[in-house]
């Protein structure tokens, strides 16, 4: 596994998404309470940044701001149209005070 991105956990507010450099499309890192999720930072439908979208903590999903497609943060699957293709998900682990995103 190769490390794609690393950030102090304290810099990621609960219920928010941030963009990190890494991977072919960047990484959209989301914190829901004390759990972290990482997906490719590009909507599979409109090719815009998912990190600029809204996080739904109850549904564990993120919404693309352009056309409203939502994606599961757990497996990247689209939850609503117009997107029909999933987004890449990445493994996340805690290393001391840091959140580390890796490729497969």
Q: Which residue has the tokens 């999720």?
A: 37
Enter the pTM of the model: 0.95
- Give the Cβ contact number of residue 3 at 10 Å: 12
Residue 94, φ and ψ in degrees, nearest 5? -100, 130
- The pLDDT score that the predictor gives to residue 84 is 97
Q: What is the pLDDT of residues 22-36, one digit of tens each?
A: 999 999 999 999 999
Q: How far apart are CA 93 and CA 72, in angstroms?
A: 18
- The pLDDT score that the predictor gives to residue 97 is 98
| 6-12: average pLDDT | 98
Alpha helical stretches, state H, 1-104:
none
Contact assessment for residue 71 and residue 61, using Cβ atoms and an 8 Å cutoff:
yes
| 55-61: average pLDDT | 98
Q: Which domains does the chain have, with CATH numbers?
A: 3-102 (2.102.10.10)
Q: What is the pLDDT of residues 73-89, one digit of tens each?
A: 999 999 999 999 999 99
């Amino acid at each position: 596994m190769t490390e794609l991105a690393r950030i102090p956990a304290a810099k990621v507010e609960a219920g928010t998404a941030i963009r990190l450099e890494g991977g072919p499309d960047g990484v959209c890192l989301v914190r829901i309470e004390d759990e972290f999720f990482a997906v490719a930072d590009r909507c599979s439908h409109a090719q815009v940044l998912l990190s600029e979208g809204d996080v739904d903590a109850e549904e564990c999903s993120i919404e693309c701001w352009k056309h409203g497609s939502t994606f599961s943060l757990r497996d990247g699957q689209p939850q609503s149209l117009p997107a029909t293709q999933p987004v890449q998900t990445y493994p996340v682990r805690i290393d001391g005070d840091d959140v580390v995103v890796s490729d497969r």
